Amino acid sequence: MLENKFYQAYKDQGDGFIVLQLIAENYNGATPSQSDLQDWVQEHGLTFPVMADPNWQVGGPYGNNSIPFYWVVDQNLVIQKKGNFLFFFHFKIRELLGID
């Protein structure tokens, strides 16, 4: 869903849109290796960056209370919206990109 409904839909609009996916654990509960991340990208057909988040260093302090969890961060790295239902993010993304 991130690939088609968000990244492909917004990547060339407004002042710029980036999707970055953080993965804290692999299927065994360990920090994902580079190979795990590459497998995830291939399995889901992703074209945006996917990175490891060891020990929830990024996700934990910024309000990750469920999986999956999403943030919309503006150009000043200020969280503008967070939650676990992507449907509600379209309006905020369009607003930040200056799309009518």
Give the DSSP letter string of 2-47: IIIIIIHHHTTSTT-----EEE---TTSSPPPHHHHHHHHHHHT--
Q: What is the mean pLDDT of residues 7-22?
A: 88
Confidence of residue 66 (pLDDT cuts 50, 70, 90): low
- Please report, to the nearest 10 degrees, the dihedral formed by the alpha carbons of residues 50, 7, 83, 35 taken in order: -10
2-89, what's its fold?
Glutaredoxin (3.40.30)
Q: Given the DSSP bridges, would you call strands 79-83 and 21-23 parallel, antiparallel or unpaired?
A: unpaired
In a 13 Å sphere around the CA of 70, the CA atoms on its Cβ side amount to 17
Whole-number percent of the chain with pLDDT over 70: 96
- According to the model, what pLDDT value does residue 8 have? 93
Q: What is the mean pLDDT of residues 75-80?
A: 89
pTM metric for this prediction: 0.78
Task: Enumerate the domain spans of the chain.
Answer: 2-89
